A and B are shown apart, each in its own frame.
Chain A
């Protein structure tokens, strides 16, 4: 089974087949149909294809945490909260766990925020462990599969490794109790400890209403060639550079700060969203983690994302053919970024813009309230539905135990 799973992973994560169909859509803009390696699945309706049972955890795992700090609803990790709310009122939810295909545990692990608003992951492993202990004690469904038909939303920097520093995250690895479960996370990097196969990558949360209030007329000509706003050097944590973003952001700055085609700076303008709509390319380099909300913003605003993050796995990689939509630049090719971008033929650029203009593409990146068809919630459910039916060794024989409940650092074993 091992090699087969690797092959499946390879197919899922690599560049995909693509079906092109020019379609006239309502706004008079011809867009192209998007099909990823899993086929034309962006518009699939998951209702009827799967059933999800939502565990009723005590509110200290979810509601009370949110009450303590409502900022969790607005930061880029808010997907875990909105996923819970969506599932509670979704037609795929079932109250009968016997007929459920998937089980969801609503635990908000990324809601312990510093005064600045950054989540502290130090208590998250204990919180997750405590939640799993609860569900395994009160319901029989965890023990019969040891989590193979359970899914968890872990949107933090390195997913279920629960640390913001990459080295420490790699050391910790994925929480041992989650090793059979399906993880829905924003982090994705090939051959990385913190991405297990079978995970579903989702986009980070970006507030849809805020972005939609900043839309400008379509006919505003795109006059900026390359646009980027953000840090190049993280002076607080890595003053010399070279550590942050593996030196890629610093390389972008040093090579292109004087280039008139590159509108890059660290400022935070109020017209950030409007400027993205006036740009042809938007840089999405890695930071401390390879993913960032810039990808979502670029897709919404029709700016071709230039992804500078080696081996990154982008959201819904099996449903969305990112190779056709964005431009991938290796970190070592950053000094040649201008050559790479100017040598793209204009027809290819126009095609990428047409793909980005596809409304189903934009919907798939958003978490709107209330949920709309084709949005990121539905793509997650579609992804879960594509993993059905569970294969035979998901269900353990009675008495069989796979997970080691005492594995992991000692600090994780303390009760939460």
Chain B
């Protein structure tokens, strides 16, 4: 507007254009400006407007190009001159920098002077045209990081790491996949060599085999002749025997390393595996006990028994000089009478006095005919009597004073004990593969999910119901698909109200009783 008017007035001084001449005349009549001043004013205005359009200080560019051919080190001078003349368009530098970079690199001119190649003043902000990282370089960076971390581990981590032998008793049930996957992932992260001995009650099943096959670890999967009983008592006893069986395997195959007991529903921290490398013969770590209690108010009430705040921790107890003086066990008196008896009881499941998972052994303790085995260890065969109740690996020892407390003398809780199981009548698809596919009684009307859940029609009026749904939710539906109604004739036990899709019952090949 103004630009064109000025240019017009400049170019067509004597034009008959009404607007232009009127402006020019009025300006010429009213002011006493000299032509030079007018010229500078006009130039100033032109520069301002161009800068407005382009987004950076155009005048600087002009002066730079005008003066750059002259003597050296006038680098700062052009900008001072421009700053006086040009108006302050304080454009934020982010849109500026693209243009600023287009100014040729001689902004930061390698001024051929005898002093320094570093010049004071305003420099362009260099931005490369393709800002994204090159994937090959990113890979190299990650390799560098990995190498640095490997070096750190070699310097500050454990020297001469030993193989970890993890012993897991398990059996096929609904929650097995949940628990076993958790343990499997923890073991897959262990940076040391690992052997995973999985003892399965009720014999080896495909269920378990399919889960552990995905680990990529070296596994020894054995079955145990008995099936898992339904009570916690019985389960604990059987698990002890299964663990002893695993120790027998360690003995037979002369596996060398550190034996730790990774129960399938426990949660292990990575520091645990670093810490157990320090064990000499037999060590104990602190285990956090997570009681899954449905009745939360019961846990909060103290009921007046106050000797000490009951920490849900089992493990070694040390005195001030970090010597083992005793054991912390879980105080289960508060739950006496209210604890779960059967596996699917809705009551807190109590741990034993000392859980197996809190102990780690040097595998040589269970080997036959090893010369340097300490005398305070019984031979594994002595525990083989079926009637023997082996509650914890301490039964392997003649004296418990030689147990090494690990994890800063038991101050660090390195793993957590938890027992959560499904209802006894719960069913799950074999190997968690749905075959045959689920029946669909009412298909989803449209995607995405509608705002309001449709009314679920009764079974008989399936097709009519589909159409009434259509009419009700009219405003959102664009087209209606012909519903594929398939009446399911099996019993509908789960009447879940799922928006849009009604799942039918699952006809599942039952796997267990």
Contacts and interface: CB of A to CB of B under 8 A. Distances in A.
Interface of A: 28-30, 166-167, 170, 189-192, 217-219, 221-223, 225, 233, 239-243, 246-247, 250-251, 254-255, 258-261, 280, 310-311, 331-332, 334-336, 338-339, 341-344, 346, 349-350, 353
B147 to A, nearest CB: 4
Interface stretch (B117-125, B405-413, B428-436, B474-482): B117-125
B188 interface: no
Looking at A189, A191, A240, the one whose CB has the most chain B CB atoms below 10 A away is A240
A113 B173 CA distance: 73
Which size class do B's interface residues fall under? 35 or more
Contacts of A332: 105, 108, 126
Interface string B142-170: 01110111011101110000000000000
A219 B156 contact: yes
A250 B125 contact: yes
Contacts of B94: 254
Interface in B86-136: 90-94, 96-97, 100, 105, 108, 115-118, 120-128, 131-134
Contact of B117 (A247, A254, A310): A310
Contact of A218 (B92, B148, B155): B155
A255 B131 contact: yes
A254 B145 contact: no
B144 A342 contact: yes
A203 to B, nearest CB: 21
B138 interface: yes
Contact of B152 (A166, A167, A219, A255): A219
B280 interface: no
A370 to B, nearest CB: 30
A28 B155 contact: yes
B459 interface: no
Given A242-B93, A311-B117, A336-B128, A342 B148 contact: no
Which 3 pairs across A and B sit closest by C-beta, in order of nearness?
Answer: A219-B156, A335-B128, A191-B116
Contact of A251 (B127, B145, B157): B127
A331 B90 CA distance: 25
A157 B108 CA distance: 23
Given A255-B128, A335-B128, A350 B148 contact: yes
Nearest to B143: A346
B235 to A, nearest CB: 39
A339 B136 CA distance: 10
Given A311-B116, A311-B117, A239 B90 contact: yes
A332 B110 CA distance: 11
Contacts of A191: 115-118
A335 B126 contact: yes
Given A223-B145, A346-B148, A246 B123 contact: yes
B125 A346 contact: no
A39 to B, nearest CB: 28
A305 to B, nearest CB: 16
Given A239-B92, A346-B147, 11 more contacts: A191-B116, A191-B117, A221-B148, A242-B93, A243-B121, A243-B123, A254-B97, A255-B128, A280-B148, A334-B126, A342-B144
A258 B90 CA distance: 25
Contacts of B149: 221-223
Contacts of A334: 126
A255 B143 CA distance: 22
Contacts, number: 140
Contacts of A219: 152-153, 156-157
A218 B121 contact: no
B27 interface: no
10 contacts: A28-B155, A221-B148, A246-B118, A254-B127, A259-B132, A259-B133, A280-B145, A331-B123, A342-B137, A343-B140
B115 to A, nearest CB: 6
A349 B144 contact: yes
Contacts of B90: 239-240
B126 A247 contact: yes
B438 interface: no
B141 interface: yes
B128 A250 contact: no
A338 B133 contact: yes
B99 to A, nearest CB: 12
A225 to B, nearest CB: 5
A371 to B, nearest CB: 30
B76 interface: yes
Contact of B124 (A30, A242, A342, A349): A242
B415 to A, nearest CB: 20
Contact of B131 (A223, A241, A258): A258
Looking at A192, A221, A239, the one whose CB has the most chain B CB atoms below 10 A away is A221
A335 B130 CA distance: 10
Contacts of B117: 191, 310-311
Contacts of B137: 338-339, 342-343
A243 B83 CA distance: 14
Given A219-B157, A346-B147, A350-B147, A341 B141 contact: yes
Looking at B92, B94, B118, B157, the one whose CB has the most chain A CB atoms below 10 A away is B118
A239 B125 CA distance: 13
A191 B156 CA distance: 44
A339 to B, nearest CB: 6
A349 B148 contact: yes
Given A261-B133, A311-B116, A239 B93 contact: yes
B144 A241 contact: no
Given A239-B93, A240-B93, A311 B118 contact: yes
B152 A225 contact: no
Looking at B91, B133, B138, B151, the one whose CB has the most chain A CB atoms below 10 A away is B133
A247 B155 contact: no
Contacts of A241: 93, 96-97, 125
B134 A339 contact: yes
B432 to A, nearest CB: 34
A191 B117 CA distance: 9
B18 to A, nearest CB: 42
Contacts of A189: 116, 118
Contacts of A343: 137, 140
Contacts of B93: 233, 239-242, 250
Nearest to B153: A219
Interface string B332-373: 000000000000000000000000000000000000000000
Contacts of A28: 155-156
Contact of B76 (A167, A192, A250, A342): A167
A369 B91 CA distance: 48
Interface string B435-473: 000000000000000000000000000000000000000
A261 B116 contact: no
A192 B117 CA distance: 10
Nearest to A190: B116
